[in-house]
Amino acid sequence: MRVSITQIKEMKQKGEKISMLTAYDYATAKLVDEAGIPMVLVGDSLGMVVLGYDSTIPVTMDEMIHHTKAVVRGTSKALVVGDMPFMTYQVCIEDALRNAARFIQEAGAQAVKLEGGEGMAETVKRVVAAGIPVMGHIGLTPQSINQLGGFKVIGKTPEAALRLLNDARALDAAGVFAIVLECVPEGLSRIITEKVGVPTIGIGAGKFCDGQVQVISDLLGLYTDFVPKHAKQYARLSESIRQAATDYITEVQAGTFPTEKQSYVMDENVLAELEKYT
């Protein structure tokens, strides 16, 4: 039985901290699910850490559906959230409904995430009314990176902080089951967390959020192009992978791989018979 949005909301009420990770493929999703992660986000961050784009903006619905299907196949307990990519929900509510439905019906996700605050409240309301759980996302919204002028902390001035608080309240009223707060000052995150009824999930938003989300590639030390300030590397797999590949090259060139252990044998009589014809 998968974790439900009701259980996620109850975790806030009980004061239980919520752990969330991204995953983009079957093998990784299976491992984090076995570890007990209650929520897995198939983030459009895959555009950068998996597909090599320089932002999340080029990511398409078909790419998101492809990766979400793999993550769903790799999980049995975690709530899987599909990240709606750029311009798949902003043009009109009909687009939002159609694309959100693809995540649920075609990819097998249990919820979707979209960026934006008050301006997206009506869209959120309509998607939720259609029976599709929605996670909100405010603060640093990567799909708006060109408008924001880069990756930076959002909400440092009184005016910006009030806008974020109003955004959070609007999303709460529209029916989201949780809100991601990205790159938001810790003090402001604390206030938002206290003022909304749904869980806040922080990424670079401090310890007062109801939960935390991290990009799995940052956590594992796999993505080395850029390591955000808010990321903690719990492993350095890039170094292990690079060394393993180097060792492999060395052994192939030296003729020490493969050994008998990695090779298959055939019956000597069959081999002798074959050699008569060569």
260 catalytic? Reply is no
Among the options 106, 182, 186, 260, which is catalytic? 182
- Read off the amino acid at residue 161: A
Cis omega (within 30 of 0) on the bond before 133? no
User: Which residues, in sequence order, are CB contacts of 202 under 8 Å at separation 6+?
Assistant: 180, 181, 182, 184, 189, 208, 209, 211, 212, 213
Q: Are strands 111-113 and 134-139 parallel, antiparallel or unpaired?
A: parallel
> Under 8 Å CB-to-CB from 41, ≥6 apart: which residues?
20, 21, 22, 23, 81, 83, 113, 213
- Beta carbons of 193 and 168 less than 8 angstroms apart: no
Contact call for residues 200 and 210 (beta carbons, < 8 A): yes
Q: Is 139 helix (H, G, I), strand (E, B) or coil?
A: strand
Alpha-carbon gap, residue 219 to 237, rounded angstroms:
10
- The H or E element spanning position 138 is strand 134-139
Type of residue numbered 206: G
What are the residue numbers of the active site? 182
